[in-house]
Amino acid sequence: MLILLILSLDLGFCSWGYNLDTGVGAFRYIVSPRQSTLLSESPSFFGYSFKIIKNGTETSFIIGAPKAITFTNGNESCAPDLKATGDLLECPVSNLFASTPANPTCNSRNPPGTQRGDAFGQSVDLSPDGNLLACSPGKLQCCSSAVYLPGYCYNEDNHNRSWMEDVKSSQNHCLSIQLDLMFVLDGSESVTISNFELVKNWTIDVASSFDIGSGLTKIGVIQYSHYWEELGSSDTIQTYIKTEIPLGSIKSQAKFAAQVRKIRYHQFSTFTAHAINKTIRDFQNSARWNDANTRKVIILLTDGRSSDFEYLPYSAA
Ligand SMILES: *[C@@H]1O[C@H](CO)[C@@H](O)[C@H](O)[C@H]1NC(C)=O
Ligand SMILES: *[C@@H]1O[C@H](CO)[C@@H](O)[C@H](O)[C@H]1NC(C)=O
Ligand SMILES: *[C@@H]1O[C@H](CO)[C@@H](O)[C@H](O)[C@H]1NC(C)=O
Ligand SMILES: *[C@@H]1O[C@H](CO)[C@@H](O)[C@H](O)[C@H]1NC(C)=O
Ligand SMILES: *[C@@H]1O[C@H](CO)[C@@H](O)[C@H](O)[C@H]1NC(C)=O
């Protein structure tokens, strides 16, 4: 059997985009089996990519329709404004010439989890041993508030018509951004009780936006005021530079808020440089100090000039 295939972009009033012309000198098209559901939408670009495959004695066309809209297992929440999931259809040749226009039975061959914006069917290829490889160069990946376009490819596994993510694509994961966050609160006299309450509320408020339940973010609180120069540097003696909540010790927002509200205002002096060093020591003793994937952040809330300001440049460095 000789088949002459002409890929032609249909620019006429019919809106289903690319077609495959299966006749010579006659108007015989394979049209997208989904045309009826697509008439009110843009063209599906059926025929954008194309391959012939054999399964035993059966020959089929694999036809991509990257602008098709399908709703199989889609992740609609990811990109609601990008509609096209795309489609890759397998149309057996045996029933192609039965009618004019040809009316093939085509089965969708999309991988599981096709989602809006994938435009699957833009490319399809055959490996030397006859397995299909199809890519979705514009596939989206939603990572909380950020959206990436890593692209994905799928390999057919052992002719069994099920798709596997290709090895490179499967390495595209959302970066898990771990955060260790210490609030360092100025408990000096000049802050005043009412402002100290405001600072506590602000701390609770800021902390509430982090996921502390899963441990992705760990938070802690230090209150500082006075440093007894004459008593030596031991943290157990220097009780006015105090870890009120050890980093990562609380995993519930309600408990964290309750614990912050219980913090008793020192109302003393302002040894900011010593407090920064103590905070760094807390970090150094914490579980994720050496973990490069964990960002360490100090939020220092102070009303101004410190009693040990001459040390500050060294401590902050
Ligand atoms: C391939 O052919 C076999 C035997 O005819 C059939 O059982 C199988 O479903 C076919 N596979 C596909 C994907 O059509
Ligand atoms: C779908 O997208 C949402 C939002 O980005 C994401 O949280 C969720 O994990 C995704 N679900 C699947 C099954 O991919
Ligand atoms: C078909 O593909 C699936 C998914 O990759 C795989 O788990 C399964 O073993 C394959 N089956 C055969 C018969 O190769
Ligand atoms: C702090 O928050 C608590 C509980 O929401 C509220 O009752 C209190 O008035 C707030 N304090 C200040 C100083 O805003
Ligand atoms: C803080 O630590 C730095 C570095 O170890 C040190 O040079 C500095 O003197 C310390 N500051 C105070 C106030 O102890």
The verdict on the CB of residue 274 being under 6 Å from ligand 5 is yes
pLDDT for position 9:
38
Best-predicted range by mean pLDDT among 1-15, 19-33, 105-119? 105-119
143 CA from centroid of ligand 3 (Å): 29
pLDDT tier for residue 92 given thresholds of 50, 70 and 90: confident
Pairwise pLDDT comparison (138 vs 34), residue with the higher score = 138
Classified as helix, coil or strand, 211 is coil
Distance of alpha carbon 247 from the chain centroid: 26
Count of CB atoms situated within 10 Å of the CB of 63: 27
Counting ligands in written order, the one closest to the CA of 274 is: 5
Sketch out the chain's domains with CATH numbers: 4-170 (no CATH), 178-315 (3.40.50.410)
Distance (Å, rounded) from C-alpha 257 to C-alpha 244?
Answer: 12
pLDDT for position 182:
95
pLDDT for position 220:
97
291 CA from centroid of ligand 3 (Å): 38
Distance (Å, rounded) from C-alpha 110 to C-alpha 91?
Answer: 13
pTM, two decimal places: 0.50
Average pLDDT, whole number, for the chain? 78
Is the pLDDT score of 265 beyond 60? yes
The verdict on the CB of residue 309 being under 6 Å from ligand 5 is no
The DSSP letter of residue 188 is B
The verdict on the CB of residue 170 being under 6 Å from ligand 3 is no
Closest residue by Cα to atom 13, ligand 3, is 160
